[in-house]
Each structure stands twice: as structure tokens, then as C-alpha cells.
Chain A
Amino acid sequence: MKTSDDEAAVMSGGRSIALAQFEAAEGRRARWILVLRLLVGISFLAFWEFASGRLIDKLFISSASAVFTRLGKWVMDGTLVNHLSITLYATMWGFLIGSFVGFVLGLLFGRFRALAEVLDPFITALYSIPKIALAPLFIIWFGIGIESKVAVSASIVFFVVFLNTYAGVRDVNPLFINAIRIMGGSQWHVLRQVIMPSATSWVITGLKVSVPYALVGTVIGEFMSSNRGIGFLISQATGLFDTTSVFSGLIVLSIVGAIFNQGLGRLETFFLRWR
């Protein structure tokens, strides 16, 4: 018995004129967006350069040219690598530790309702503490080295990933769980084949949101007390009213954040390719 009920709709592989036109229109749109983005960026820099010293005192806003000259100098003399490497290193560890612990606890809480109910008020209480307020404590505990920055960063990342994973696990369709159990799957199979993939989109959203937070955590730690890192560079420059360096540091941070987000966006498309 051969049914050809609706394969045709799926198998229509031929490229039509309408499709080509659609793709061309999409391409034009994408190019336009790019051009407009560049225009906005360039206008901003031009206005900054113009306003500096004319509308606003150079002391407050430095100037675009000075900042980019400073950035160039940092790249050449190794300042950038020296400070950025330590910041990235702390951010990476904070992100890894925070997201791992957050993910595991999120899974546990999602699976064991009793555990979640018992610990819920404590988690909420901890969540309400501004993590910045923990930074001095972490410095007492872990010293002024990289460990305290990792701790600040991890404590922020933890909550974001934990809450997202928890929500993701609770969002799993119970029908899938029952179906897998009847098919012969164990609790482990349910976790591995249903809960984890189903929670992926939530977890990835959590990870995406937490990457900038990891960076923020590290930089806050560096502000408080340190002798290396982009945060240290910025706070030192602030003390000296060196706004050129402050802006240079900020630009480095924003570029790093943007690159991270791009990478995670790619990861997301890969993991959620079934959508």
C-alpha cells in the first residue's frame, strides 16, 4: 500500500522564480541594514569628535581620535593583552563554574519538587542580594587575586542559568516523559533524551544573558581591588581623570561582549537546528 498523501509538499525541491525574487529582496534588505548601521556608527563617532572641546569639555568625554590612538598604543605596547587576558580568564572561569553549578542545581530542582519547595525561600533571599555587595566579602575570602573575581562573576552567572534551567525543566511536556517511560526508557533516559534537550532553549537563553554578566562580575571585582585587568585599568584611569583611557577600556569591554554574544548565537543555531 502506497500513500502519497502529502509528501509532495515537502519534496518540492525545484527553485522557483518567486523564491529567487524573495531571496534577492532579503539580500537587499540585509545590505541596507548594514549600510544604515555603519552610518549610525560613523555619525556617532563624528559627533563625538566634533563635540569634544567644542560643546563639552575634553576632560569629560575625551575624543574619538584620542581614544582610538590610545587603543592603538595599548595594542602595540602589550597593555591590552596583559590586562584583557586576565579579565577574560576570570570571566571564563566565572562563567563556567557559575553556569555548571546553575545548570546542575536547576535540573535537580526541576526534577525534585520537594527539594524546590523546601529551598525556595532561601534561593529567593539569596537572589535578592545585589551580587555587587558580595564583592568585598569575596575579596576577604579569596584575596585580591583572580579567585575573588571568578567568585563574583560565578555568583551572578549562577542565578541566571539556575533560574532558566529550572524554568526549562518545568516547561517539559509531561507527555514526552510518559511516552519515553512506556517505550522502556529509564529515569536517566528521560533526563538525557527529553528533559535536557527540551530545556536547551531555556538554558541557552540563560547562558546568552549571563555572558555579559560574567564580564560585569569580573570587572566589578577588578574595580574593588586588583592590580591587573580591564576593570583595574578603568578604575586607575578614573582616579587620574584620564577619560581617554576610561573610554578605551569601556570600548574594549563592549567589543568583547559583542563577540561573545555572536559566538553564543552561533551555538544556539546549532543546538536548536531542529526548530
Chain B
Amino acid sequence: MSISVQVQGVEKRYVRRDRETVALAPVDLTISKGDFVAFVGPSGCGKSTLLNMIAGIIEPSAGEILHEGQIVHGVNKRVGYMTQTDSVLPWRTVYENIELPLTFRPFSAAQRRERVEAMMKAVDLSGFADSFPNELSGGMRKRVALAQVLVYEPGTLLMDEPFGALDAQLKLMMQRRLLDIWEETGKTVIFVTHDLSEAVTLAQRVVVFSGRPGQIKAIEQINIPFPRDPFKVRFEPEFQASYERLWSILAPEIAKGEDI
């Protein structure tokens, strides 16, 4: 299996108020193409920092990241990036938002229309083409954001607690949608979350980070077969076992975080 992301000795230090803090101690990590990997850990463990370095938004202080065989330097335009606060532009309609990434690429108007319409259908937003994001519900806005990052077909999706702000039901529905897309397209997904059950529901592998300085504490395989149904998977014995295994690794880290 070929490699999607390779993290080699990557470290991040910040200088803040005349003090150097280590956000991420040197880490190594290899993610294969088509993998679904979750990053979990207490806040301030550097999981988002690593994700943002893969996205090329922040530069590592040391080490390097290879994505699809190329060193990530500057913004990485071969990934799709989705965060908790959505990046849907409020001044563009649903249609215009989904079309936006295509306008940065050499697509004809007809090709753009075809792709956007197909994408809107895929996320059940047909009929809302001319609505502005503020006229939509939170769940619908999330689907616009998802369509926006899928429409230009990046091979890798970087997601930073994308469903964090949604209520429990919507979260499960979005998880199901994401799993469907992942199984259909075989994209590599790196999914940052602090919600352990979300990580176990979605991922094949869960990377557990420990806090201050952030580093990788463990990498656990989740052996629940696909397709998984987010509404039911939690009742499977393997889910319980994985959850407890991960929790026993994570719990001391969270306790440590509370002391600081």
C-alpha cells in the first residue's frame, strides 16, 4: 500500500512571552493511502498543530512532512481541510460556495456546473443553490462545507473536529455520511477529535497524543469491520473493548491536563 502522509521527526516550538514552549515534541508517523486515522488527546497536546502542519498552514520547527511523496512547504493545496467553525463564506450562496474551489482551477463553466450540481445532490442540498449560509441550519452548513472540500477531489481530507458544534443526532448523521464517502472514494482521512467514541466509530487507527509537550503516546488499531453504522456500532463488543483500551491510555493524560 502506498504512503499518503509521512511525518518525520516533526517538532513545533513557540516563543510566547519570552518563553519557549514545545507544542509538539519530535514525532514520527506514517499514514497509508486510503487510511482513516483519528488523532485524540487532551487539549494542548499538539494534535491540531500536527494537522495544521500537514495542511501547510504552520511550518514545523524541525523535521519534515511528506504528502504524496512531496515535502509540504507552504500551503498544501492537495488536501481538503475542514474545521469546527466552518469555512463556508457567508457572502456567497450555497452554489457559489461549492463552486469556489473549482474557479481556482482550469475548469470550464459547463464542467463546473456539472460538478457542483452532482455534489449538491450528493449532500442533499439540491434546491438550496441560491440560499445564503445564514439562511441554513447548522447541519446543512456542514454539508455545504463538506461539498466544498470534496468537489475538487483532493486525495486526503484533514478534519479538525468538524462535527464538534453539532448536536448528538446530527453528529451521528454526519459521521455516517463521512463514512459513506470514505468507503466510496477511498480517500485518506485524518480526523482530529477529543471525542473518544467518535474516534472509535470512524477510524481504523487511533493515534493517542499526550500533553505538554505534545507527543504520540500510542497508536491503536480498531478492529471493527466496515461498513460501520454510527448509530449501532457502539453496541458491538469490539467497540466497548477499544473504547476502554483507549480510555485507559488517555485518562492519565487528561488528569495531568487538569493539574496544570
User: Within the complex, which residue of A1, A7, A185 is in contact with B177, where a contact is CB–CB below 8 Å?
Assistant: A1
* A142 touches B (CB below 8 Å): no
A183 and B140 within 8 A (CB)? no
B75–A181 touching, CB < 8 Å: yes
The docked-state distance in angstroms from the alpha carbon of A1 to that of B105 is 30
In the complex, are the beta carbons of A6 and B124 less than 8 A apart? no
Please report A residues at the B interface, Cβ cutoff 8 Å. Answer: 1-3, 5-7, 9-10, 175-176, 178-186, 189, 193-194, 197-198, 200, 273-275
Nearest chain-B residue to A4 (Cβ)?
B124
Note all chain B residues with C-beta closer than 8 A to A180: 87, 100
- A274-B134, A275-B134 known; A183 vs B139 contact (CB < 8 Å): no
Q: Which residues of B contact A274 (CB under 8 A)?
A: 90-92, 132-134
Supply 25 A–B pairs (Cβ within 8 Å), ascending by A.
A1-B180, A5-B170, A9-B137, A10-B131, A10-B137, A175-B83, A179-B87, A181-B77, A182-B56, A182-B76, A182-B79, A182-B81, A183-B100, A183-B104, A183-B149, A184-B105, A185-B100, A193-B89, A193-B92, A198-B91, A274-B91, A274-B132, A274-B133, A275-B90, A275-B134
Asked whether B134 lies within 8 Å of A186 as measured between CB atoms, the reply is no
Within the assembled complex, what's the spacing in Å between the Cα atoms of A183 and B92?
15
> Is B148 on the interface with A (CB-CB < 8 A)?
yes
Q: Is the interface of A mostly helix, strand, loop or mixed?
A: helix
Residue from the list A10, A179, A200 in contact with B140, Cβ < 8 A: A10
Residues in chain A near residue B75, CB distance under 8 A: 178, 181-182
B169 nearest CB neighbor, chain A only: A5
Q: How many residues of B contact A (CB 8 A)?
A: 41
Contact between B89 and A197, CB atoms less than 8 A apart: yes
Alpha-carbon separation in the docked complex, A189 to B104 (Å): 8
Q: Which residues of A contact B104 (CB under 8 A)?
A: 183-186, 189
A176 to B90, CA, bound (A): 10
B interface vs A, CB < 8 Å? 55-57, 75-77, 79-81, 83, 85, 87, 89-92, 100-101, 104-105, 124, 128, 131-140, 148-149, 152, 169-170, 173, 176-177, 180
Point out the residue from B76, B105, B173 that lies within 8 Å of A5, measured CB to CB: B173
A7 touches B132 (CB 8 A): no
Measured between alpha carbons, how far is A189 from B128 in the docked complex, in Å?
25
Q: Looking across the interface, which residue of chain B has its beta carbon closest to that of A183? A: B101
Given known A-B contacts A2-B124, A6-B140, A10-B135, A182 and B180 have beta carbons under 8 A apart: no
Find chain B residues with CB under 8 A from A9 CB: 137
Told that A10-B131, A194-B89 touch, could you supply 12 new A-B pairs with CB distance under 8 A?
Answer: A2-B124, A5-B169, A5-B170, A175-B85, A176-B87, A176-B89, A182-B55, A182-B56, A184-B105, A186-B104, A189-B104, A193-B92
Which residues of B are found within 8 Å of A189, using beta-carbon distances?
104
| Chain A residues within an 8 Å CB radius of B173 | 3, 5
- By a CB distance below 8 angstroms, the chain B residues around A275 are 90, 134
B176 touches A1 (CB 8 A): yes
